[in-house]
């Protein structure tokens, strides 16, 4: 299929992984024959410079956008979404929308009708998984819906060391992401658990070290790194996907969002070769279970017992399965498959 386009913009450079999925998406689209009509992808940290570069780059892209072509747009796209979709509509272009976050499901937006109206411009929407697809159908989405199943995580430095089962009988469980109370209050409750089989290694920003007793904790803070760099520093036996303020379930807006989204950190852990520990009600737990990529638990109280009864053979099997999925993740395999299905729907 020819006439495939996207329009790049400025992605603010930060140490959080916020823009990594979007910049990776553009690189994967490039490999599939999509052409960028805007300026080259930039990562200015200044919001003011970023806004100017984005506006002029998007305007240039919209002027160059041929009529009746296919445009891939990533969502959310804050202030430029209506601008792009209106012009693309006038030029009778087909739109494939790649969803990164649904603000209503994150608890950031109460107006569900307004957000659904934004999605009505799309011919095909690439959603995270079957749970999100079902939610879109329940809201009356008219576009074709294609599940991604998992985010890719491109990595140019392809050094891979298989993880170790445990260190002197102690499992190193890795948790990467926002470490503050708003997203991850559960971290500060872990020391209360009966546990002598695992230690938690934290990577990210917002760690409140005063909330942890250094003499009596299973937690160690390993540092904050850029999303392209963090994989080089992560070492452990498992990666933990958990959110919210409770150890008994993933609670609060951020916790409940796991019922619908594909957390990008899952892909980071798999990139690092780590099997996953995940809340069993999370949408992506279905893939973890089906492909035997880790352990699903309903509460963090269960973790100690699960790890104690895990055989080396079972662990090695998970590591082997992770290594296979890792190949797909680092080469953009999941988006390529979903986008090929999307383009078939348009042909």
Q: What is the largest CA-CA distance in the chain?
A: 66
User: What count of Cα atoms within 13 Å lies in the side-chain half-sphere of residue 15?
Assistant: 11
Assigned superfamily of 4-152+332-346: Glycogen Phosphorylase B; (3.40.50.2000)
Q: Is the peptide bond before 205 cis (omega within 30 degrees of 0)?
A: no
What's the pLDDT tens digit per position in 95-111? Answer: 999 999 999 999 888 89
Dist. CA 215–CA 219, nearest whole Å: 10
319 and 275 Cβ atoms separated by less than 8 Å: yes
Domain ranges in the chain are 4-152+332-346, 171-329
Helix (H, G, I), strand (E, B) or coil at 167: strand
Q: CA 288, 28, 12, 221: dihedral to nearest 10 degrees?
A: 30
Distances (CA, A) of 255 to 185, 227, 241: 11, 22, 10
Architecture of the domain whose range is 171-329: 3-Layer(aba) Sandwich (3.40)
311 and 115 Cβ atoms separated by less than 8 Å: no
Provide the pairing of β-strand 94-99 with 171-178.
Answer: unpaired
Which residues, at least 6 apart from 208, have a Cβ–Cβ distance to it below 8 Å?
179, 180, 181, 188
Dist. CA 260–CA 264, nearest whole Å: 13
Candidates 171, 167, 201; CA nearest to 307 is 171
Dist. CA 302–CA 285, nearest whole Å: 16
Per-residue model confidence as pLDDT tens for the chain (347 residues): 789 999 999 998 766 677 899 999 999 999 999 999 999 999 998 989 999 999 999 999 999 999 999 999 999 987 899 999 999 999 999 999 999 999 999 988 889 999 999 999 999 999 999 999 999 999 999 999 999 999 999 988 767 777 877 767 789 999 999 999 988 999 999 999 988 899 999 999 999 999 999 889 999 999 999 888 899 999 999 999 999 999 999 998 889 999 999 999 999 999 999 999 999 999 999 999 999 999 999 999 999 999 999 998 999 999 999 999 999 999 999 999 999 999 999 98
Dist. CA 92–CA 63, nearest whole Å: 14
Dist. CA 262–CA 185, nearest whole Å: 20
| DSSP line for 109-155 | ---HHHHHHHHTT-SEEEESSHHHHHHHHHTT--SEEEE--S-----
- pLDDT value at residue 124: 98
Dist. CA 257–CA 191, nearest whole Å: 25
Q: Is the entire prediction scored with pTM above 0.85?
A: yes
The answer to whether 4-152+332-346 and 171-329 have equal CATH topology is yes
């Amino acid at each position: 299929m020819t006439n495939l386009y996207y329009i790049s913009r400025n992605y603010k450079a930060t140490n959080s992984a916020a823009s990594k999925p979007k910049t990776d998406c553009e690189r994967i689209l490039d490999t599939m024959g999509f052409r960028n009509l805007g300026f080259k992808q930039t990562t200015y940290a200044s919001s003011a410079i970023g806004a100017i570069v984005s506006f002029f780059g998007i305007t240039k892209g919209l002027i160059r956008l041929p009529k009746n072509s296919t445009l891939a747009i990533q969502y959310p796209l804050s202030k430029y979404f209506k601008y792009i979709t209106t012009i693309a509509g006038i030029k009778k272009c087909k739109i494939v929308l790649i969803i990164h976050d649904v603000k209503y499901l994150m608890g950031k937006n109460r107006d569900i009708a307004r957000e659904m109206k934004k999605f009505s411009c799309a011919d095909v929407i690439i959603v995270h998984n079957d749970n999100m697809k079902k939610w879109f159908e329940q809201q009356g989405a008219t576009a074709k819906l294609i599940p991604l199943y998992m985010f890719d995580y491109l990595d140019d430095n392809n050094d891979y060391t298989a993880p170790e089962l445990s260190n002197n009988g102690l499992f190193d469980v890795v948790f990467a992401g926002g470490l503050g109370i708003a997203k991850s209050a559960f971290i500060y409750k872990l020391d209360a658990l009966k546990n002598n089989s695992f230690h938690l290694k934290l990577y990210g920003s917002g760690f409140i070290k005063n909330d942890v007793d250094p003499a009596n904790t299973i937690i160690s803070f390993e540092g904050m790194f850029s999303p392209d760099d963090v994989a080089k520093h992560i070492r452990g036996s498992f990666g933990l996907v958990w959110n919210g303020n409770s150890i008994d379930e993933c609670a609060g807006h951020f916790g409940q969002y796991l019922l619908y989204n594909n957390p990008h950190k899952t892909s980071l852990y798999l990139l690092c070769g780590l099997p996953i520990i995940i809340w069993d009600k999370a949408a992506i737990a279905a893939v973890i279970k089906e492909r035997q990529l880790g352990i699903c638990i309903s509460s963090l109280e269960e973790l100690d017992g699960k790890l104690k009864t895990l055989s080396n053979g079972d662990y090695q099997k998970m590591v082997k399965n992770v290594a296979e999925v890792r190949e797909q993740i680092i080469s953009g395999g999941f988006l390529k498959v979903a986008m090929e299905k999307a383009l078939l729907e348009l042909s």
